Amino acid sequence: MLTYDYLKDRPRELLAATGLSHEEFDQLLAAYTTAYAALYPPDKTQAGKPRQRRVGAGAKGALVQMTDKLLFVLVYQKTQALQTMHGLQFGLSQPQANYWIHHLLPVLQQALAALGHAPERDASRVADSTLVSEAVPALVIDGTERRRQRPKDPDRQKVHYSGKKKAHTDKNLVLVNEATRKVVYLGPTVPGNTHDKCAADEASIAYPLHATLDKDTGFQGYEPPGVLTQQPKKSPEAKS
């Protein structure tokens, strides 16, 4: 079973599993512990009622330590594994994994917001985001895809089938600050066959004036006003 105690002396494995170094994990853990206590007060039950027994009484769950709770949700966010497979790593059944994912994700979102690392979800507010103003507005836009369960409905199968990935996927646009490498904007989830440029046009992202924007061929023709876009071109040698 995967635990933080197993990874704490293995920095390379921790980085591969969560995308964080030990220092970054510890920094996030402090904010995560505070956010968890705020969302789930220790003197209240999960239903929000006053506790009749002291904290820790009763059956012990698989994710007792706060470090393991944070590890669980970070690994899920990093790998986007099926809930059954994710549960197997932590000694949980699929229903238990589903419960913990929905229980812990709001805590992670609140902790990231407290640290100022939560990406903007409202495209109209990107220009005013502190994540943009931390450095010169040199931005990179791209579409990210992750596999999803194959829909049973034939029409939904077509909508979610990505020819690029040769699988059924969901897609999000991400906007990254090139200097700080932080995700500035995370777009809404759209079906996998949505073209990157179409998703960007529909998002109507408000960019800061005189920003530069690196893009790939999936955004061919995407030219937001007041922004200098840059798109790499293949060399003659690569074409031949």
**What domain range includes position 196?**
123-231
Longest dimension (CA), the chain: 74
Name the packing angle between helices 66-79 and 11-18 (round to 10°): 60
Give the pLDDT confidence score for residue 238 in this predicted structure: 58
Residue 238 lies in a domain: no
Residues 99 and 136 in one domain: no
Q: Could you give the 3-state DSSP secondary structure of residue 176?
A: strand
pLDDT by residue for the chain (240 residues), tens only, comes to 899 999 999 999 999 999 999 999 999 999 999 999 999 988 777 767 777 766 655 566 788 999 999 999 999 999 888 899 999 999 999 999 999 999 999 999 999 999 988 999 999 999 999 999 888 889 999 999 988 888 899 888 999 999 888 999 999 999 999 999 899 999 999 999 999 999 999 999 999 988 999 999 999 999 999 999 998 877 666 555
Pair 87, 176 in one domain: no
Q: Establish if 205 belongs to a structural domain.
A: yes
> End of a domain among 86, 115, 144?
115
Beta-sheet pairing, 190-191 with 161-162 = unpaired
Secondary structure of residue 123 in the 3-state scheme: helix
On whether both 141 and 59 belong to a single domain, the answer is: no
Identify whether 87 is part of a domain: yes
Tell me if 110 sits within 8 A of 104, measured CB to CB.
no
Are residues 188 and 165 part of one domain? Answer: yes
Other Cβ atoms closer than 10 A to 58: 8
Same domain, 109 and 146: no
Could you give the number of structural domains in the chain?
Answer: 2
Q: Is 214 exposed, middle or buried (0-12, 13-18, 19+ CB in 10 A)?
A: middle
pTM of the predicted model as reported, rounded to 2 decimal places: 0.77
Query: Does 130 share its domain with 60?
Result: no
Of 77, 96, 115, which marks where a domain is finished?
A: 115
Q: Are residues 9 and 107 in the same domain?
A: yes
